[in-house]
Amino acid sequence: MKIWKQEFTLEGLDNMSANTLVDTFDIKFTEFGDDYLIAEMPVTHKNVQPMRILHGGASVALAETVGSIASVLCLKDPVSFHPVGLDINANHLRSVREGGRVAAKVTPIHIGKKTHVWHIDIRDENDKLICVSRLTIIILKTRH
């Protein structure tokens, strides 16, 4: 079942994120289907910890990015309402060394009028599970 209420392109999603943390971490949207969205991120000096492995906070930033954008795409009226992260958790299962690449796939757990709950799997280039995250979004009325 198609969950998206907005028409979009991957290039448009990337352009929307210009000059943000998403841009800083080189996160790019790469694929979508009727009920999922995928974004990739290279593991570089911008998002590693001193041991030269992917920083857990960067994994969380990637997870929140795909989940938040998914929520925007589920809104019928993204001008009058906007999503805000309410809670996120992450279980870091494996490390990825600098020079690698990770991909986050977001799928819905719950899409309500006031809250969205998303499941995000982050995998490395060998399809090994790196991080599992759950993101809860609250939908707020935009103040004009």
64 as an active site residue: the answer is yes
- Selecting among 7, 11, 40, 64, the annotated active-site residue is 64
Tokens of 41: 């991120």
Give exposure, 37-51, as e/b (b: 16+ Cβ within 10 Å): bbbbbbbeeebbeee
Place of tokens 């805000």: 84
Question: Which among 83, 69, 74 has a CA at the least distance from the CA of 6?
Answer: 74
Residues serving a catalytic function are: 64
